[in-house]
Structure 1
Amino acid sequence: MILYPAIDLKDGQAVRLLRGEMEQATVFNDDPADQARVFVKAGAEWLHLVDLNGAFAGRPVNADAVEAILAACPGTPAQLGGGIRDMSTIEGWLEKGLARVILGTVAVEDPELVRAAARAFPGRIAVGIDARDGRVATRGWAEETEVEATDLARRFEDAGVAAIIYTDIDRDGAMGGPNVPATEALARAVGIPVIASGGVSSLADLIALRDTGVIAGAISGRALYDGKLDLREALAALA
């Protein structure tokens, strides 16, 4: 199971939100590229990036910060979500060196774009499914839908997407542990690799996710910044 350290970008800074609320942002580093170097130096195999402003704006907003991270860590693959809603933006980010882009809102609103992108860029398109009480939320989690997370995942079963990033919004940034049962159920419902996000805050959380035997990865942010989770120790344990 791969551990993805998270760098959430707001106004050019590395922050963490509480349950997706933009006004509940804590700044952890004014220099996201420096934060990326810290994670890579500790042994991170991947970086998980989120353009929070972009998720609300529907277009890239923190492009300079993302490009600085890519330049600072050229040997470490990075995935990015937030505000990526058309093919030209997908192409642009992949050309700039991202290993993978994450499509969230458009997975609900324009699923054919996800399919087309997955065909055009095999292995480089992930679907972000963010849910409250099992129902998908879009546009920076500001809009709730009646779409069930598992139903949405199944729509892309044959699309060739590289991964599904499943976030339990109510767990995100709350340091209360991930929703292991829901994430495991989703992973068992589809053949697409599932990455857990939201609430991953301890070594025990990571072990619980790994021991399901079906979860491919986990994303952690606040716990790494707060020191509740030591990245080197966690990577060693998972190895």
Structure 2
Amino acid sequence: MILYPAIDLKDGQCVRLLRGEMEAATVFGDDPAAQAKAFEDAGCEWLHLVDLNGAFAGAPVNAAAVEAILANVTVPCQLGGGIRDMATIEAWLSKGLARVILGTVAVENPALVREAAMAFPGKVAVGIDARNGRVATKGWANETDVMVTDLARSFEDAGVAAIIYTDIDRDGAMQGPNIQATEALARAINIPVIASGGVSSMADLTALRDTQVISGAISGRALYDGAIDLATALETLKL
């Protein structure tokens, strides 16, 4: 199982939100590129980047910070937040991003997901953020009647590289991930599932790994707070 350290970007800074609330942002640093390099130096295989402003704006906002990260590390990076058209997808991939994450647009324009996944094999992931099993969009501000499993299944034949599943009520709360829901999703579809939201301890990581069906886990606040030691976690997940 791959551990993806998260760098959430708001106004050019590294932050973490509590349950997706922009007003509940904790700033962890003002040099995202240096933070990315520190994660790489600790041995991570991937980085997970989120343009939080972009998720609300519907277009990239923290592009300068993302580009600085891409210039400063060699590990592959995936990015979500405000990526809602083919031009933006193409632009990010041309700048060296390994994978784009499509969230809101996966609900509102699923044809774009299919088009992008076909045009860029292995480089398109779908981000599914949910409360109580229902998908939320536009930076989690809009709750829909779409069920998580139904949306994920609709992309099984599209060539999507991964599903990134976030339980919003667990995100940033340091209360542990929703392992049961994440495992159930992973068993219900044939697309690799990456867990996000609430991963706050080594016990969480090993529990996700031990399901044997979850391909990755994203963690942010726990790494910044020191609740998870990145080097130790990476070594443990290799076992």
1:107-151 Cα deviation digits (max 9, x unpaired): 000000000000000000000000000000000000000000000
Structure 1: 5+ residue stretches without partners: none
Deviation, 1:56, is: 0.2
Supply the AA of the counterpart residue of 2:69: I
Alignment partner, residue 175 of structure 2: 176
What is residue 114 of structure 1 aligned with on the other side?
Answer: 113
| TM superposition shift of 1:19 | 0.3
Secondary structure at the aligned position of 1:16 is classed as: strand
Residue of structure 1 in register with 2:162 after alignment: 163
Pairing 1:21–2:55 present? no
* Aligned AA (2:54): G
Query: Is residue 216 of structure 2 the alignment partner of residue 201 of structure 1?
Result: no
Amino acid in the other structure paired with 2:34: D
Partner amino acid, structure 2, of 1:122: P
Q: Using the alignment, how far apart are the partners of 2:131 and 2:29 within structure 1?
A: 28
Aligned residues: 238
Query: TM-score if structure 2 supplies the norm length?
Result: 0.99
Moved over 4 A (4+): none
Query: The residue matched to 2:60 in structure 1 has which SS?
Result: coil
RMSD over aligned CA atoms reads 0.3
- Aligned twin of 2:100: 101
Query: What's the offset of the Cα at 1:5?
Result: 0.0
Partner of 2:123: 124
Rounded to whole Å, the distance in 2 between the matches of 1:169 and 1:33 is 26
TM-score by length of 1: 0.99
Q: Verify: 1:66 aligned to 2:66, yes or no.
A: yes
CA distance in 1, matches of 2:95, 2:14: 20
Q: Distance in 2 between matches of 1:70 and 1:29?
A: 17
CA distance in 2, matches of 1:37, 1:176: 27
Identical aligned residues as a percent: 80
